[in-house]
Amino acid sequence: MEESGGPIARECVEGYLFAGPPIELLLFRRPPARGKFWVPVSGKVEADDADFEAALRRELLEETGLTVPHRLVPLDWHVPFRADNGETWRLHAYAVEVDRTFVPRLSAEHEAAEWMAPAEAVRRLHFPDNRAAVGRLLARVGSTSPNV
């Protein structure tokens, strides 16, 4: 596959866990060795993943222990980015509805998780495409855009 930044070398997925109403998002903080910033669940699509949703379900299980989300909502958000190795990778974003009572089992990829209002999520998210994806999530699940 080809993007304006060059061929896509790797496909990735990200999942924005949410519950509501009112809408709240569950974000994860990376440990210091990985930047100590707030992110959604994310990971690379592996060769044995049947499709992007299968990759996301695997990442959700690995990073949070979540086995069965209420629903996955494609955000139609396909974001190319430059990986640390210089290759162009692409993210495919999803909203992931869960119970507000869901308590994640953290993997080594995260040191903390916290439920927060959309405006707070937008404030904490490190990457601009993550902040934009929150707006897409809110548009898809029937809420208004956060105050940013």
Does 73 score more than 90 pLDDT? Answer: yes
Confidence of residue 143 (pLDDT cuts 50, 70, 90): low
Residues with Cβ within 8 Å of residue 55, at least 6 apart in sequence: 11, 13, 43, 44, 45, 46, 49
Confidence of residue 148 (pLDDT cuts 50, 70, 90): very low
79-120 pLDDT, tens digit per residue, is 999 888 999 999 999 999 999 999 999 999 999 999 999 999
CA distance 21 to 128: 25
Residue entry with tokens 């290759």: 87
Hey, what domains does the chain have and what are their CATH numbers?
A: 2-140 (3.90.79.10)
Section 37-42 average pLDDT: 96
Section 66-70 average pLDDT: 95
The verdict on whether omega for the bond into residue 32 sits within 30 degrees of 0, i.e. cis, is: no
Q: In angstroms, how far is the first alpha carbon of the chain from the final one?
A: 34
pTM confidence score: 0.90
Confidence of residue 34 (pLDDT cuts 50, 70, 90): confident
Does 15 score more than 50 pLDDT? Answer: yes
117-141 pLDDT, tens digit per residue, is 999 999 999 999 999 999 999 999 9
